[in-house]
Amino acid sequence: EAGVAQSPRYKIIEKRQSVAFWCNPISGHATLYWYQQILGQGPKLLIQFQNNGVVDDSQLPKDRFSAERLKGVDSTLKIQPAKLEDSAVYLCASSSTEGSKNIQYFGAGTRLSVL
């Protein structure tokens, strides 16, 4: 079974530039999550999708961050414009249903450096 795919693995940009990350979850997984992991901290949930609908985006900084999952499969997370404090690893995860009991499967992440 293929895992969660993310690209790119690394990205370096200057502040005020835009950046986008892509995630392809495990086939058949209805729930998709985007996390931000700042160095030395645990992952923080940014947004959770159930199919193509948003379940929770309460921790997403909506003035600069956006995410979509148009066809209920792969997803993109965008930052526009980026700030220095956005430097982090962005993790995508998926699970088979929205139920909170379910195990999340994580991708390797995209490491973003904002200069």
Partner 1 sequence: AQSVAQPEDQVNVAEGNPLTVKCTYSVSGNPYLFWYVQYPNRGLQFLLKYITGDNLVKGSYGFEAEFNKSQTSFHLKKPSALVSDSALYFCAVRDTGGSYIPTFGRGTSLIVHP
- For 73, what's the count of Cα atoms within 13 Å in the CB-facing half-sphere? 5
When asked if residue 43 is in the footprint of partner 1 (CB under 8 A), the reply is yes
Burial status of residue 42 (CB atoms within 10 A of its CB: 0-12, 13-18, 19 or more): exposed
Rounded Cα gap, residues 15 and 102, in angstroms: 37
When asked if residue 22 is in the footprint of partner 1 (CB under 8 A), the reply is no
When asked if residue 7 is in the footprint of partner 1 (CB under 8 A), the reply is no
When asked if residue 27 is in the footprint of partner 1 (CB under 8 A), the reply is no
Residues in region 85-114 near partner 1 by CB under 8 A: 91, 93, 100-101, 103-109
Rounded Cα gap, residues 47 and 30, in angstroms: 14
Sole binder of partner 1 in the list 59, 83, 85, 97 (CB under 8 A): 59
Sign of the dihedral defined by the CA atoms of residues 41, 92, 33, 106, in that order: negative
Taking contact as CB under 8 A, which single stretch among the options 13-21, 51-59, 61-69, 75-83 is the one that binds partner 1?
A: 51-59
Taking contact as CB under 8 A, which single stretch among the options 12-20, 37-45, 68-76, 77-85 is the one that binds partner 1?
A: 37-45
- Tell me the CA end-to-end span of the chain in Å, nearest whole number: 37
Chain residues in the site for partner 1 (CB under 8 A): 3-4, 33, 40-45, 48, 56, 58-59, 91, 93, 100-101, 103-109
